[in-house]
Structure 1
Amino acid sequence: MDFDACVQRLRSGAAVKFPPDANSVAFAQHMDGQDKLRHLRDEFVLPTKASLKKKALDGKLPPQLTTTDAVNGVNGHAADEQCLYFVGNSLGAQPKAVRRHLDAQLETWASIGVNGHFTDMADSPLTQWQDMAEDCANKSADLVGASPDEIVIMNTLTINLHLMMASFYKPDAKRHKIILEWKPFPSDHYAIEGQVVWHGLDPEKSMVKIEPDAGTSLIPTEKVLRTIDEHADETALLLLPGIQYYSGQLFDIPRITAYAKERGIVVGWDLAHAAGNVELKLHDWDVDFACWCTYKYINAGPGAIAGAYVHEKHGKVEWADGRPTYRPRLMGWYGGDKSVRFNMDNMFVPTPGAAGYQASNPSAIDLASLSAALSVFNKTSMADLRSKALVITAYAEHLLNQMLTEQPAGEKPLFGIITPSDPLQRGTQLSVLLREGLLERVTQALEENAVICDKRKPDVIRVAPVPLYTRFEDVWKFMQVLRGALGLKQQ
């Protein structure tokens, strides 16, 4: 089976027909052999079967295989075998570069103290502290399809949503509604509701929740557009997820954005599950603002510093009568232009672009971790990552669907895939809705076999074969464990 031919079909929205031997380790290894990104796995530290049992620190990292090592453990020791890590949609694996970048940051701090703000150290992977956020913005441009000036690295996701809504949600007597989806990640719901209440409005009247079609977890694009039409004259803001965290549905960001903006609605996107996962062109799509975290597909570590995008037209700084004019926002000293930041004259002059929306000095420790994570993306492109993701996710879907064909006729299905089957309407996550009562049995079997994936009660497991470090062989092994948990024959 030709890898590139699969990519072409999937990018056109067509399904791929896998051969009869697809459910075999030989086929999986054949696909791995064609994967031009397979070397990127060596950029990560993955837990092993032994390290997952750790209860105390011992100064040792899990021994790491390389792409040329045997797959059944270092020197044949099963305990050294890497786990099957399918939870990058929750927390990405650790890039090896993180330790080097953090060590460089700590050495700089220890050696020159406060001068680290203004000093570029030779032989360091990092720039001086005051430029680190800008450096990370430069490295993030390909991930979200924006110019570096439209990106700001700061805070965490929910705080950035609040900062963006403080500037972009301007309700009045006529336009006061926010259109959102029915079941956003709770923090998004809290942030939106909090902004509505902050403005003295009633969430029951000012929050419009788009429901999925009956019997599914999916919201068709046409339903989003109808909702926009129904509430257009009263809507101040549309704020949706690029990818819905529970179902894995990828929304049609360009079409929805254009449709809403034609009706005078400000458009923002939460890209927590999209950034680093799918190709984005935020500037070309004329998105007003967007926010994302960096600890999922971008792999910057738990609770890592987040990113935000502001279209260039909203970041302009002009002058009139000797004073700067700019879009109102919540202001802080670190949003001030570096040329006047230390003047201490209480005249706020924003940095042009998204950086002018910063309020506080970002953590150099956090930025070091993100810089390390982004250095891996600099070794590839989002186009190549998306291509592999399309194929490896389709392979996982094929093996899941094959299980359903092996059930006795008339028996209630063991599971259903609630993520769209259209490859262009999903990222690299498949959400599997198990038959009621199976979740605990399945998750126990996965844990016992060193398989890490995400569960969402009452009955869903989310499986994410992240292309940076997941092999086709990993997908095949995962499915063998799942087969055993479901009482199906293993290969």
Structure 2
Amino acid sequence: MTVLCSPSRVWLVLSPMNFVNDRLFARQLDQADPLRTYREQFHMPQRNGQPLIYFCGNSLGLQPKATRAAIDQELAVWQQLAVEGWFERDPVLQNDPWLTIHERSKAALAHIVGGTEAEVCAMNNLTVNMHLLLTSFYRPTEGRTQILTISGDFPSDQYALETHVRARGLDPKQVLVEVAPRPDAVTWQLTDLLDAIDQHADQLALVLLSGVHYYTGQAFDMAAIARKAQAHNILVGFDLAHAVGNVPLNLHEWGVDFAFWCTYKYLNSGPGGLSGVFVHEKHHDAASDTSNVPRLAGWWGYDQTRRFEMTGGFVPMRGADGWQVSTPTVLSMAAHNTAVQLTAAAGMPNLRRKSEQLTAYLQFLLTDLTQQGLLTIITPADPAQRGCQLSLLVAQRGRAVFEQLTKAGIIGDWREPDCIRLAPTPLYNTFDEVWQVADTLRRLLTAG
């Protein structure tokens, strides 16, 4: 089959019906990929001088080549200006003062999550932001105390919900409503989630769950969940750790009340990198008065024009910025800003198109192994219900197969008890790599 090489048309020929299990075909797809040059902007991990195939961006994204220069720039500012780096601009360094460093990534984040610049802010780490936002948006009343979530969500979220509720003097067993998959299923039916909201509506104070499930890779219909919650006047929030930079987000239009995410996975901002938050503008007026919207505050969320007056009485910055607590970590901010600019420049619609094709091609190449019962793909087959991850259950020797993949130079990750997660990431992975991974799995699983 001929692959169209026009970047504007390449996506038209890429469907499972057109796929071919052939390495030359995969390489032709790479040649036609309009995003292929973005790979060159990342450092690829190596072993013994040979590049590895890295399918682990769902756990830690790769380092952009521009990151070192960005951090070095802030080190130079620290060296030359010291404390004045917060306020001064050096004509030689051409630096931006650190006082407004949180603003540098706003435009990129707004594009990535589908919000306005006033609705987003980079700060803290994910679970810290989760607790901060729960303080503001979990508002139990005598009649409504429950939080609807999913069972088996990421452990940090489970721990945060459990301890946050207990800190409010409530019993997590009474408050947390966990929706499980149906018997003999590993993923959730949207109707079950929506029905659970209807069923518990009179007792619910909040709906809060991950946008993409870490283990299965299932992407939830956040728009539909938000609509259902709003129909019952229930606040709704999402943990976007595995969704941001991965699946289409339109938080403002969906009316999501709040969201939070980490940036070291698909946004490539570095190990343990910054978190970000979204607070819908419908809350901004009320949040200007902390008696209306409770929060745990710190000085960096205080009105920036008056912050150094050092007066009592918290006066928040408007919008998401008002949830800042501590002085920003400048070096992490530099790495973060560099990374998110790459994602925004590539464009989420473009990344999504390539992501769908990479993941669909991997699924296609594994079809014979699934038909033989050698592995099971638990991630939904519907592209609308997944990002760039396939979670594989290997019928026999799952851990051994994972270790053999690693030895062969293929980096995915293992999740207990029996899951290999592979994430072909559109910013830096290729169709040829997808073919190599599938071919290696086939040889490992069919070896006598």
Query: What TM-score do you get using the length of structure 1 for normalisation?
Result: 0.87
Alpha carbons of structure 1 residues 423 and 124: separation in structure 2 relative to 1, 3 Å? farther
Are 1:447 and 2:406 matched, yes or no? Answer: yes
Are 1:281 and 2:241 matched, yes or no? Answer: no
Alpha carbons of structure 1 residues 4 and 438: separation in structure 2 relative to 1, 3 Å? farther
Q: Which residue in 1 is equivalent to 2:321?
A: 355
Are 1:476 and 2:435 matched, yes or no? Answer: yes
Q: Determine the C-alpha separation between the residues in 2 that align with 1:163 and 1:380.
A: 31
Q: Given residue 374 of structure 1, which amino acid in structure 2 is its aligned partner?
A: V
Q: Which residue in 1 is equivalent to 2:39?
A: 41
1:121 deviation in Å? Answer: 4.1
Q: Which residue in 2 is equivalent to 1:316?
A: 285
Conserved 8 A contact 1:94-1:301: yes
Alpha carbons of structure 1 residues 450 and 170: separation in structure 2 relative to 1, 3 Å? same
Q: Which residue in 1 is equivalent to 2:195?
A: 226
Q: Given residue 403 of structure 2, which amino acid in structure 1 is its aligned partner?
A: Q
1:325 deviation in Å? Answer: 6.6
1:120 deviation in Å? Answer: 3.1
Q: Which residue in 2 is equivalent to 1:335?
A: 301
Helix, strand or coil at the partner of 1:239: strand
* Alignment partner of 1:235 out of 182, 197, 204: 204
1:123 deviation in Å? Answer: 6.7
1:127 deviation in Å? Answer: 2.5
Conserved 8 A contact 1:237-1:266: yes
Alpha carbons of structure 1 residues 88 and 134: separation in structure 2 relative to 1, 3 Å? same
Q: Given residue 289 of structure 1, which amino acid in structure 2 is its aligned partner?
A: F
Q: Which residue in 2 is equivalent to 1:76?
A: none
Q: Determine the C-alpha separation between the residues in 2 that align with 1:120 and 1:344.
A: 24
Conserved 8 A contact 2:211-2:243: yes
- After superposition, the C-alpha distances for 1:200-250 in whole angstroms (9 at most, x for unaligned) are 111111110000122221111100011001100000010011000011011
Conserved 8 A contact 1:140-1:374: yes
Q: Which residue in 2 is equivalent to 1:75?
A: none
- After superposition, the C-alpha distances for 1:419-451 in whole angstroms (9 at most, x for unaligned) are 00001110000001111x412221121111111
Q: Which residue in 2 is equivalent to 1:171?
A: 140
Range moving further from structure 2, 440-449 or 461-470: 440-449
Q: Determine the C-alpha separation between the residues in 2 that align with 1:452 and 1:306.
A: 25
Range moving further from structure 2, 464-473 or 198-207: 198-207
1:9 deviation in Å? Answer: 8.8
Q: Given residue 23 of structure 1, which amino acid in structure 2 is its aligned partner?
A: N
* Alignment partner of 2:384 out of 408, 414, 424: 424
Alignment of 1:321-470 (within 5 A): 327-405=293-371, 407=372, 413-435=373-395, 437-470=396-429
Q: Given residue 16 of structure 2, which amino acid in structure 1 is its aligned partner?
A: V
Range moving further from structure 2, 198-207 or 304-313: 198-207
Alignment of 1:179-258 (within 5 A): 179-258=148-227
Alpha carbons of structure 1 residues 163 and 9: separation in structure 2 relative to 1, 3 Å? farther
Alpha carbons of structure 1 residues 476 and 263: separation in structure 2 relative to 1, 3 Å? same
- After superposition, the C-alpha distances for 1:3-57 in whole angstroms (9 at most, x for unaligned) are 86774699xxxx63134xx22210100110110000000110011122xxxxxxx
Helix, strand or coil at the partner of 1:178: strand
- After superposition, the C-alpha distances for 1:238-296 in whole angstroms (9 at most, x for unaligned) are 00110000110110001110111110111000000000111111001000000000000
Conserved 8 A contact 2:125-2:275: yes
Q: Determine the C-alpha separation between the residues in 2 that align with 1:318 and 1:242.
A: 25
Helix, strand or coil at the partner of 1:484: helix
Alpha carbons of structure 1 residues 4 and 394: separation in structure 2 relative to 1, 3 Å? farther
Helix, strand or coil at the partner of 1:374: helix
Q: CA RMSD in A?
A: 1.9
Q: Determine the C-alpha separation between the residues in 2 that align with 1:198 and 1:6.
A: 54
* Alignment partner of 2:25 out of 24, 27, 31: 27
* Alignment partner of 1:146 out of 106, 112, 115: 115
Are 1:109 and 2:78 matched, yes or no? Answer: yes
1:378 deviation in Å? Answer: 3.6
1:327 deviation in Å? Answer: 2.3
Alpha carbons of structure 1 residues 308 and 123: separation in structure 2 relative to 1, 3 Å? farther
Helix, strand or coil at the partner of 2:446: coil
Q: Determine the C-alpha separation between the residues in 2 that align with 1:101 and 1:48.
A: 23
Alpha carbons of structure 1 residues 6 and 213: separation in structure 2 relative to 1, 3 Å? farther
Alpha carbons of structure 1 residues 488 and 24: separation in structure 2 relative to 1, 3 Å? farther
Q: Given residue 372 of structure 1, which amino acid in structure 2 is its aligned partner?
A: T
Q: Determine the C-alpha separation between the residues in 2 that align with 1:162 and 1:488.
A: 49
Q: Determine the C-alpha separation between the residues in 2 that align with 1:296 and 1:441.
A: 25
Conserved 8 A contact 2:287-2:293: no
1:105 deviation in Å? Answer: 0.7
Alpha carbons of structure 1 residues 330 and 183: separation in structure 2 relative to 1, 3 Å? same
* Alignment partner of 2:235 out of 252, 261, 266: 266
Conserved 8 A contact 1:216-1:418: no
Q: Determine the C-alpha separation between the residues in 2 that align with 1:183 and 1:293.
A: 19
1:453 deviation in Å? Answer: 0.3
Q: Determine the C-alpha separation between the residues in 2 that align with 1:143 and 1:122.
A: 32
Helix, strand or coil at the partner of 1:149: helix
Alpha carbons of structure 1 residues 207 and 324: separation in structure 2 relative to 1, 3 Å? closer
Q: Given residue 357 of structure 1, which amino acid in structure 2 is its aligned partner?
A: W
Identity of aligned residues (%): 41
Q: Which residue in 2 is equivalent to 1:66?
A: none
Matched positions, count: 444
Are 1:135 and 2:104 matched, yes or no? Answer: yes
1:100 deviation in Å? Answer: 0.6
1:126 deviation in Å? Answer: 5.6
Helix, strand or coil at the partner of 2:56: coil
Tell me, which stretches of 5 or more residues in structure 2 are unaligned? none
Tell me, which stretches of 5 or more residues in structure 1 are unaligned? 51-79, 408-412
